[in-house]
Amino acid sequence: MVLWLVIIAAPLALVLYAIPNKTAESYFKQWLNALITYSLYPAIFLFLFIIIADFASALAVCSDAARAAGCTPSVVGAIFSDINNNGDATGITYLASIAANVGIRLGFIMLLLYLALQASSTVSKWGGDLAQTITARPDKWAASLSGFSRRFSTAGANFGYRNTAGRAATRLDKSLRTGLLSGIANSKWLNNPVLGHPAAALSTGVLQPVAGVSIGGGLSRVAYDKQYAEREKERATNRRTAENVPAMKELKGLIDKGTLSPAEEARKSMLQKRVDNFSKQELEAMKVDDLIGHASVFKEAGAKKIAEIEKFSEQKKQDFREAYEKDGLDTVGKKIDKEVKLLKEIRDRLKFGGGFSSDVLDAHTKTGSTVDLKTIKDMRDDIMWGVAVSRDQSRDRNSLPIDRRLAEKNALQLQQALKHLDTIEDGLSKLPEKKITI
């Protein structure tokens, strides 16, 4: 009955919804809540009633003896039929049997009916609340949908323009300035001041403005190309940064290896150039511990860049500096220069002190001469020969004591020269070119 009245009032409710008044809108919401509530109530109740009917049919099943006596398959008939066929039931026992049968069977049915009514009421209330939630702000939902549609259509229009007219204008402008059409644009006809430089006027007055047009605040072709170029540059930088640490590790391995094949020498030279050209941004993107662990591959310019990076702590910078002073390429060169200077001093003492003179050592330690691994070997062989000779002279009993003491002193200085050669050789093995000019 109530549902019929709600359906009959539907036209009036729609009229109230169309009236821009809060009171009329509240009446419409009450009608919509009642419509959904009373529409769901009978559907839920009837569904549960079918389940109750099936349960009642199960309770109405007669026993075999009662069915033989003419039991009617109904709840009440089954109750009394079972009692009447129980010949032992008399007096109070008979009444207790009736109460138990009626109470148990009909109690289940009444409980199920109650649960069905409560479930129907609850589901109907949920439906009404959901309807109020959905229709609470239809104007806001409509505005959001309209805004989305407008933004979508504007973005589509900007995308289409940017990739048609904008792209064509950009390519034509580029071709006029530096591409295939640049020869025509710079010809005496189109680059004529009398005619007002038609090619330049076309570029600045038409093509560039067309490429710079933006619809609805979207990216123009010029802005899009600039953003794309920056993004590609950033990707390339990220790729290069990711490859920098492996490059340092490979270079360090080649430096520590010492003797290299021609292919390895070429690879080492290429890696060294890459490390030397590390930018401050690339160094900053690395972990400072990786830089400390590979300090031996850097030169002074790279060490200065690392010292200027604010991201690294002062302690880490100091750790890097200590590692660099120990194994850095430029510091290795300074160490070699120092060792060569000490070697020259020994050469001069031996030469002017008397008792020993080495032409090989003299030739390879002159200013402007080149010291490499081969010259190191030649000097070592010659000095080792001098050590052996000096020791023999120091043991010669036929020589004067002063000559034996001089020979012993010469042997000690030559042994010290061998240590300097070992240090120089170790330093040369770390340099990319494996040689140094003194």
Q: What is the pLDDT along the chain (438 residues), one digit of tens a residue?
A: 677 787 888 888 878 777 877 888 788 888 877 777 777 767 776 777 777 676 666 655 555 554 555 555 555 555 555 555 554 545 566 566 666 666 666 676 677 677 767 776 776 667 666 656 655 555 555 455 555 555 666 777 777 777 887 788 788 788 777 777 676 666 666 566 655 566 677 777 777 887 887 877 778 888 888 888 888 888 877 787 788 889 999 998 887 776 778 898 889 889 999 999 998 888 988 889 999 998 888 888 888 899 999 889 999 999 998 888 777 666 777 778 888 888 888 888 887 776 667 788 888 888 888 888 889 899 999 889 888 888 888 888 888 888 888 888 888 988 999 998 988 888 787 776 778 887
What is the extent of the structural domain holding 424?
Answer: 331-437
Does residue 152 sit within a domain? Answer: no
Same-domain pairing of 164 and 283: no
Residue 371 inside a domain? The answer is: yes
Within a domain: residue 61?
A: yes
Residue 90: what pLDDT? 54
- Residue-level pLDDT at 28: 82
Among 126, 123, 200, 215, smallest CA distance to 165 is for 215
CA distance 57 to 375: 115
Residues 342 and 400 in one domain: yes
Q: Examine the domain organization and report whether 255 and 309 are in the same domain.
A: yes
Phi, psi of 80 (to 5 degrees): -75, -30
pTM for this prediction: 0.37
User: pLDDT tens across 357-396, in order?
Assistant: 778 888 888 888 888 888 989 999 988 988 888 888 888 8
Nearest to 427 by CA among 284, 304, 258: 258
CA distance 323 to 310: 19
Note whether 11 and 94 are same-domain residues.
yes
Q: What is the pLDDT of residue 398?
A: 84
395 & 306 share domain: no
Tell me: do 323 and 347 sit in the same domain. no
The phi and psi torsions of 32 (rounded to 5 degrees) equal -65, -40
Q: Do residue 126 and residue 8 come from a single domain?
A: yes
The answer to whether the beta carbons of residues 361 and 387 sit under 8 Å apart is no
Number of domains in the chain: 4
Same domain, 131 and 42: yes
Do 206 and 115 sit in the same domain of this protein?
no
pLDDT score, position 270: 92
Please check whether residue 385 lies inside any domain of the structure: yes
| 322 and 337 in a common domain | no
Structural domain includes residue 232: no
The closest of 193, 36, 58, 195 to 129, measured between CA atoms, is 36
Burial track 265-294 (b if 16+ CB lie within 10 A, e otherwise): eeebeebbebbeebeeeebbbbebeebbbb
The reply to whether 207 and 255 lie within a common domain is: no
Residue with tokens 């200027």: 308
DSSP 307-356: HT-TTS-HHHHHHHHHHHHHH-HHHHHHHHHHHHHHHHHHHHHHHHHSS-
Cβ atoms within 10 Å of 183's Cβ, excluding its own: 9
List, for residues 162-186, the tens digit of each pLDDT value.
Answer: 788 778 878 878 877 777 767 666 6
Asked if residue 145 is part of any domain, the answer here is: no
Q: State residue 110's pLDDT score.
A: 74
Count other Cβ atoms within 10 Å, centred on residue 117. 15
In a domain, residue 414? The reply is yes
Exposure on the CB side of residue 294, measured as CA atoms within 13 A: 25
Number of H helices, E strands in the chain: 21, 2
Residues 6+ apart with CB under 8 A from 74: 60
Q: What is the pLDDT of residue 142?
A: 47
Q: Are strands 435-437 and 370-372 parallel, antiparallel or unpaired?
A: antiparallel
